[in-house]
Amino acid sequence: MGRVRGDPVTTAREDELIVAETFGPTFQGEGPSAGQQAVFIRLSRCNLSCGTHTSASWACDTPYTWDWKRFDPKDPEVARRESVGALLAWALSLPPRLVVLTGGEPMLQWRGLERLAVGLRAAGREVEVETNGTLVPRPTLVEAVTAFNVSPKLAAAGDSERRRIVPDALASLARCGKARFKFVVNHLGELDEIAALARRFALREVWVMPEGTTAGAVLDGLRAVAEETLARGWHLSTRQHVLIWGDERGR
Ligand SMILES: Nc1nc2[nH]cc(C(=O)O)c2c(=O)[nH]1
Ligand code: SF4
Ligand SMILES: [Mg+2]
């Protein structure tokens, strides 16, 4: 099979990254560091397509990182190449100590991502990588990051299990000691699916986070899953940026 044109794994140089957007200072809105001031670098491209299948019950909130039926990857508002040096200079010019590297799936561009994470850590920044957990991190990246916020996708995201759940990648992230697992949920029934994954991959730190791009939807979701999340011994994450700013881009 031929290589996909524009595939960042094969075309991005190691000193540059294909970026969707950079933004901040804002607050890390999700997971264990929620509420901390942070700057964000959102990389373009994803290897999943949450929400595009008829079986899906929620949809990706950053389709401009991967959905070329709806967005033009040649549009510089959608995707642009930036050098690792320029991204480092931008992040280090801003006060927040925390830098969140997200996507899309940022680990697709692992060469540049590693360089960026190493540079940020060398400059004394904390680095969190938001990932869908389908790619095995290399030791250099594990060493450089403060934490991986891993969000394995459940059946309701719509992709096949073979695409969503990559056992080697989840096992490797679980073993690396820096991963917390943050599951996006859309209904209560999904907690059994999370429990099965937590058992299978010995996931230690499990976070449940309701899906939603409006404050009302996030609050309804939190209320729907709170008791059962407590009962199972897991943590609960809001989506603070959505509570404050809704679906506004760059927040
Ligand atoms: N404020 C804020 N926090 C976030 N945490 C994870 C985000 C993401 O899109 O990966 C995100 C985001 O888009 N905004
Ligand atoms: S893994 Fe994340 S970025 Fe990729 S399609 Fe799913 S929700 Fe969107
Ligand atoms: Mg987001």
Is residue 122 one of the residues assigned to a domain?
A: yes
Is residue 213 one of the residues assigned to a domain?
A: yes
- Look over the chain and give the mean of its residue pLDDT values, rounded to a whole number: 95
Tally of domains within the chain: 1
- Is 212 assigned a ligand-binding role in the annotation? no
| Confidence at residue 9, expressed as pLDDT on a 0 to 100 scale | 52
Domain extent, residue 74, equals: 8-245
Write out the two tokens for 72: 């033009």
- Is 176 assigned a ligand-binding role in the annotation? no
Statement: residue 19 has pLDDT above 80 = yes
pLDDT band of residue 14 (cuts 50, 70, 90) is confident
Q: Whose CA is nearest to atom 4 of ligand 1?
A: 29
- Ligand 3 centroid from CA 2, angstroms: 32
240: domain CATH number is 3.20.20.70
Pocket flag, ligand 2, residue 100 (CB < 6 Å)? no
| Confidence at residue 13, expressed as pLDDT on a 0 to 100 scale | 78
Is residue 239 one of the residues assigned to a domain?
A: yes
Statement: residue 183 has pLDDT above 60 = yes
Pocket flag, ligand 2, residue 102 (CB < 6 Å)? no
Looking at per-residue confidence, does 20 or 57 come out higher?
Answer: 20
Is residue 117 one of the residues assigned to a domain?
A: yes
Pocket test for ligand 2, best of 105, 166, 213 (most atoms within 8 A of CB): 105
Statement: residue 125 has pLDDT above 50 = yes
Quick: pLDDT tens for 91-110.
Answer: 999 999 999 999 999 999 99
One-letter amino acid at 90 equals W
Strand intervals (E) in the chain: 16-27, 37-43, 80-83, 98-102, 126-131, 147-150, 179-185, 206-210, 235-236
Q: Whose CA is nearest to atom 8 of ligand 1?
A: 102
Is residue 113 one of the residues assigned to a domain?
A: yes
Pocket flag, ligand 2, residue 62 (CB < 6 Å)? yes
Over range 55-67, report the average pLDDT. Answer: 95
Contact 66, 46 (CB under 8 A): yes
Is residue 1 one of the residues assigned to a domain?
A: no
Quick: pLDDT tens for 189-205.
Answer: 999 999 999 999 999 99
Strand partners, 243: none
- Is 151 assigned a ligand-binding role in the annotation? yes
Contact 137, 172 (CB under 8 A): yes
Q: In what order do the strands lie in the sheet with 147-150?
A: 80-83, 16-27, 37-43, 98-102, 126-131, 147-150, 179-185, 206-210, 235-236
Quick: pLDDT tens for 134-144.
Answer: 999 999 999 99
Is 101 exposed, middle or buried (CB count within 10 Å of its CB: 0-12, 13-18, 19+)? buried
Is residue 175 one of the residues assigned to a domain?
A: yes
- Ligand 2 centroid from CA 50, angstroms: 5
Is residue 110 one of the residues assigned to a domain?
A: yes
CA dist 55 and 166 (Å) reads: 20
Contact 166, 105 (CB under 8 A): no
Contact 78, 64 (CB under 8 A): yes
| Confidence at residue 20, expressed as pLDDT on a 0 to 100 scale | 98
pLDDT band of residue 10 (cuts 50, 70, 90) is very low
pLDDT band of residue 12 (cuts 50, 70, 90) is low
For the chain, percent of residues with pLDDT exceeding 90: 93
Statement: residue 209 has pLDDT above 50 = yes
Assembly ipTM: 0.99
- Within 6 Å (CB) of ligand 1, which residues are found? 26-30, 100, 102, 130, 241, 251
- Ligand 2 centroid from CA 60, angstroms: 5
